[in-house]
Amino acid sequence: MSVGQSMDPKITRNILFLLFALPGVAFASWVSRTPTIRDILNVSTAEMGVIIFGLAAGSLLGLLSTGHIISRIGGRSVILGSAFLIVVGFVIVGLGTAFSFTSLVFVGLVVFGSGYGAAEVALNVEGSAVENQLNKTLLPAFHGSFSMGTLVGAIIGSGAVGLHLPVVLHFGVIAIMIAAVTLYFYRFLPHDTGKEKEASTQKLGANMKAQLAVWKERRILFIGIIVLGMAFAEGSANDWLPLTMVDGYGVDSLTGSYMYGLFVTAMTIGRFTGGFLLDKYGRVPVLKGSAVLAAIGIILVIWGQHYLVAGMGVLLWGLGASLGFPVGLSAAGDNPRGAAARVGAVATIGYIAFLVGPPGLGFLGEHVGLLRALIVVLIGVSVAGLISGAAKPIRMKTEKSKFLR
C-alpha cells in the first residue's frame, strides 16, 4: 500500500493547512508587486486593468474545468498540476516584467490564474473529504490558513519592494518554494479523493453532462446564493474598504489602510475560531448569526456617522463574512459522490462574486457614492442569512454505520 493510500487523515489535515497557504502566498506576492510591474511596463491604470483580467480569466478557466478533471484523475494529481501551472505562470510574469513585454505578462497571469483556480477547487475537495473522515469542521480553518498565507506573501512582497529586488528574482524564489513544498508533501495525500469510477470509463461528453447536472440541483443553487452573498461581502471589502473610509469619512489613506487591516484580522480570527462554533452549534445557526453580524457591521459602516463607529462595523463585517465561503464549500461536499463537481460549482459562484461583484460596486459607487453602494452588499448578506437553511448537513451513512453531523 502506498503512502497516499495508507495516510492517517490527521496527517492529511496537517499537510492541507500548509498547502492551503501556498496559493495565498502566491496571490499576495503578485498583488504586492503590481505598482512596480505597472511602472516597469509603463502602462496606464486602465491598461493594467486589462492585464489583470488575464488572472481573472485564467482563474475562471481553472474553476470551471477542475471538477471534471478531479472526477477522472483525483484531487491529488490536480493539486500537483495546479502547483505546476502557478510556478510556470509566476516565472512567465517575472520574465515578461524583466523584458517589459506586456503580452508575456498577460499570458503568465492566465497560466497562473488557471493554476490558482484549479488549486482552490482541488484543495477544497480534499478538505471536505478530511472533514467527513474526521467528523470535524475544518474548512474555515483551512481558509484561515490561506489568509495567513496572504499575510506572509504580503510581508515578503513588502520586503522585496524595500530591497528593490527585481520582480523576476522575487517571483522566481516564490516559484521554487511552492514547487519544492508541493513536490514533497503532495505524495502524502490520498490517491483518489473526488475520483468517480464512472467518470474514468465514461466518454468525455457524457461525463461533462454529468458534471453540469449539479447546477440543476436546488440545494447546490441555494448554497451558491449563500456563498455569492458572503463572497461579495468579502470581495467588496478587499477592493473598496480603504477608499470607502477615505471618501465616506474623510480619513487619511493610512487610517483607511488600518481599517482594511482590521477587516483582514477579523476575517482570520473568524475562520480559525469558526470550526469550534460550527461543531458546537451547527452550520445553520452559525451561518444565520454570521449574516446578522455582517449586516450590522455594514449598517454601521454606511450610517455610522463617525469613523470610529464605522471601525466597529468593519470588525463585525469581517467576523460575519469570514465563514460563508468555506462553510458553503463544506456543505457542497457533504455527499462524497459527485463532491468534486458540487464543490467546483459553488467555488465558481463564489469566485465570480469576487471577480465581478466589486467592479460592479465601483461602477455603482461612481453614481451614488461608495457608502450608499454598500447597500447592495447588505442585501446580499441578508439574503444569504435568510436561506442559510439550505446548508443543513446531509445525513450520509458511512462504512462504519455512523452519520455525518
pLDDT tens for 105-135 read: 999 999 999 999 899 888 988 888 888 888 8
Residue 1 has pLDDT above 80, yes or no: no
Cβ–Cβ contacts within 10 Å for residue 159, how many?
12
Task: Check if the beta carbon of residue 94 is closer than 8 Å to that of residue 170.
Answer: yes
Q: Is the per-residue pLDDT at 208 higher than 70?
A: no
User: Which residue, among 53, 62, 51, 58, has the nearest Cα to 104 in the 3D structure?
Assistant: 51
Domains 3-192 and 214-391 share a fold: yes
Mean pLDDT to the nearest integer, 250-278: 85
| φ and ψ of 395, to 5 deg | -85, 105
pLDDT at 201 over 70: no
CA atoms within 13 A on the CB side of 312: 9
Mean pLDDT estimate for the chain: 84
Secondary structure (3-state) at 282: coil
Please say if the pLDDT value at position 3 is more than 50.
no
Taking domain 214-391, whether its CATH number is 1.20.1250.20 is answered by yes
* Arch. (CATH architecture) of 3-192: Up-down Bundle (1.20)
pLDDT for 133 equals: 86
The 3-state DSSP class for residue 137 equals coil
Helix (H, G, I), strand (E, B), or coil: what is residue 397?
A: strand
**What's the CA gap between 338 and 333, in Å, rounded?**
8
- Is a pLDDT exceeding 80 seen at residue 148? yes
Query: Between 1 and 197, whose confidence is greater?
Result: 197
In the structure grid, which three cell numbers stand for residue 72, read together? Answer: 477522472
Residue-range domain boundaries for the chain: 3-192, 214-391
- The pLDDT score that the predictor gives to residue 2 is 44
- What pLDDT, in 10s, does the model give residues 309-337? 999 999 999 999 999 988 998 888 787 77
- Count CB neighbours of 253 within 10 A: 11
| pLDDT more than 90, % of the chain | 39
- For 84, phi then psi, to 5°, come to -60, -45
Detail the DSSP E strand segments found in 37-174: none
What are the residues facing 403 on neighbouring strands? 397
Question: What's the pLDDT at 45?
Answer: 65
Q: What DSSP string describes 211-250?
A: HHHGGG-HHHHHHHHHHHHHHHHHHHHHHHHHHHHHHHH-
Of 55-59, 179-183, 198-202, the one with minimum mean pLDDT is: 198-202
Q: Which of 311, 167, 144, 320 is nearest to 244 (CA)?
A: 311
Q: Where is pLDDT greater, at 319 or 346?
A: 319
Burial 369-392 (b: 16+ CB within 10 A, else e): ebbebbebbbebbeebbebbebbe
Q: Nearest CA to 251 among 320, 321, 301?
A: 301
Q: What are phi and psi of 42, to 5 degrees?
A: 55, 50
- Per-residue pLDDT tens for 33-79? 887 888 899 988 668 778 878 888 898 888 888 877 888 888 889 99
pLDDT score of 314: 94
Sort residue 396 into left (φ over 0), alpha (ψ -120 to 50) or beta. Answer: beta
